[in-house]
Structure 1
């Protein structure tokens, strides 16, 4: 049994992971320590997210500037490392962190793979950062010293409601379908990513060296539109952004990251049925789209 966990990053997913580890520790009288890796500038900041957790071990490390060897020294203190710093830290960083984890020889690693089924999507997709996710998987599968768990959660639910992503345009009450109205998305909230991941980590028999699928809800664009109609008690306009339209948008503005995300989320590798998920098979409740919206969006 692991006696120490290091969570890398204090964004939405990182904080949710920390909260779930604490909750599990309190509920099960867990005899393990929890650490968090943060940017050095946040140390001593009473408003920093990690400052709300008493008794936490704080590792002040600059992931970008520190060498792989230096990162490995920090990681070596822990039995399990959970990476919750995503694509925003820069290209190549997921590979760098993974190499440091492997050099450290930690027992178990949960990489930043909280997203699509990258094996199914493959290389050369509309989103180049997805190729790096496959590089990480290759590194993990090519070795046998460090165990790993990849937790695929689909799109983070809050991302669906981003105005700049454009699928749900709340201001104008418009639903844009990506590719086809029957195409579906798997969505999981940050809170559920943390809660279900911790259940995966402590599951017996132990889960090792495999991909685990999770879903808060899997819904087609048609179903998403119907849900918005019910929530807001108004008929949302329906607009289809088909593959031709999305490819043209990307060609016209390849630097726009949302053009890349919109096109890649038409791929079958971004969705899977609830029946195959860890949470469904283990009767773990998760938050669906409508419940999440009710809890996070003002609906008059």
Structure 2
């Protein structure tokens, strides 16, 4: 790209088109309508682009309808140098790939972004406050998230913005997490009944990320907190009972229990997540300190999510 083109166009690359990536493209494409200086692209695996299965075909069709460009790439297989060559043409890169690529991928992507001298970077930090969680938590993959922040703060060429959302709301109700057990009508509290967790729906994460990307004056080198809701496990149990009309059994999984679970099965990733959230450090924050509260943006609460998704699907 020429210097003139670089200044006149705002090229944004979204890494990944999973639930989060697709929500970011949805709201970002809506927000930039009528603004031809913005161009959005998405990085997809070659096998997705070549795929004939219905899910991938629908994904490609949706991206086309949103006027999203598609580029081919594989952050796992490609080297830092190869990724940097792809990244250098973009003003802003938004990481939406999560931990699915395995350990070391978030650092690798960040190093490629910095090598490419990308102007602005939103790393995949859509989760808890890794500054407070620190290193050495029950979840080792969180160590890398802390290292990404350290790396970004150690340089001055690339602006960065981190969007902290807590836990994706749907994950709090995921059967594998074990907090909400509809089948056995049981709520299992992580750590303690008064331990709090911040949750944000995937749709709201996409919407707020788009808002933060385009916000004026431009947000630079900051951790931005958002929250759909911040609730204790006691409040969660009350919501479930209210919406279901059924009394649920309540069991507290304290830290001794959660740590013992890891000792017995150290390879179980979910048990490690439970322990981090059970400790309650860096996994919740007041809604009053969030970007959405300050900007007066309405969010989906935990109870609203339950009304829309959980109880309806249970009865159907």
* TM-score (normalised: structure 1): 0.96
In structure 2, how many angstroms separate the alpha carbons of the residues matched to 1:171 and 1:50?
Answer: 36
RMSD after superposition: 1.3
- TM-aligned CA distance change 1:136 to 1:168, over 3 Å: same
Report whether the alignment pairs 1:116 with 2:122: no
Report whether the alignment pairs 1:280 with 2:286: no
In structure 2, how many angstroms separate the alpha carbons of the residues matched to 1:225 and 1:122?
Answer: 29
What is the number of residues matched between the two proteins?
Answer: 299
- The runs of 4+ residues in structure 1 deviating greater than 6 Å are none
Residue from 305, 308, 316 that aligns with 1:292: 305
Residue from 50, 64, 73 that aligns with 2:76: 64
Q: Is the 8 A contact 1:45 1:51 kept in 2?
A: no
Q: CA deviation at 1:113?
A: 0.3
In structure 2, how many angstroms separate the alpha carbons of the residues matched to 1:177 and 1:108?
Answer: 39
* TM-score (normalised: structure 2): 0.92
Q: CA deviation at 1:295?
A: 2.4
Q: 1:200-219, aligned counterparts within 5 Å? A: 200-219=212-231
Determine the structure 2 residue equivalent to 1:269. Answer: 282
Residue from 35, 39, 42 that aligns with 2:48: 42
Determine the structure 2 residue equivalent to 1:126. Answer: 138
Determine the structure 2 residue equivalent to 1:135. Answer: 147
Secondary structure in 2 aligned to 1:175? strand
In structure 2, how many angstroms separate the alpha carbons of the residues matched to 1:23 and 1:229?
Answer: 37
Q: Is the 8 A contact 2:17 2:96 kept in 1?
A: yes
Report whether the alignment pairs 1:197 with 2:209: yes
Determine the structure 1 residue equivalent to 2:3. Answer: none
In structure 2, how many angstroms separate the alpha carbons of the residues matched to 1:50 and 1:212?
Answer: 31
Residue from 261, 281, 298 that aligns with 1:249: 261
Q: CA deviation at 1:240?
A: 0.3
Task: For residues 47-106 of structure 1, give each alpha carbon's deviation from its aligned partner in whole angstroms, at most 9, with x where no partner exists.
Answer: 422431223221111111111011011111111000000011110000000000001111
Unaligned runs of 5+ in 1: none
Q: CA deviation at 1:22?
A: 1.0
Secondary structure in 2 aligned to 1:268? coil
Q: CA deviation at 1:44?
A: 4.0
In structure 1, how many angstroms separate the alpha carbons of the residues matched to 2:21 and 2:60?
Answer: 9
In structure 2, how many angstroms separate the alpha carbons of the residues matched to 1:173 and 1:108?
Answer: 46
Report whether the alignment pairs 1:158 with 2:151: no
Residue from 28, 32, 48 that aligns with 1:21: 28
Q: CA deviation at 1:31?
A: 3.0
In structure 2, how many angstroms separate the alpha carbons of the residues matched to 1:117 and 1:239?
Answer: 27
Unaligned runs of 5+ in 2: 1-6
Secondary structure in 2 aligned to 1:294? helix
In structure 1, how many angstroms separate the alpha carbons of the residues matched to 2:79 and 2:144?
Answer: 19
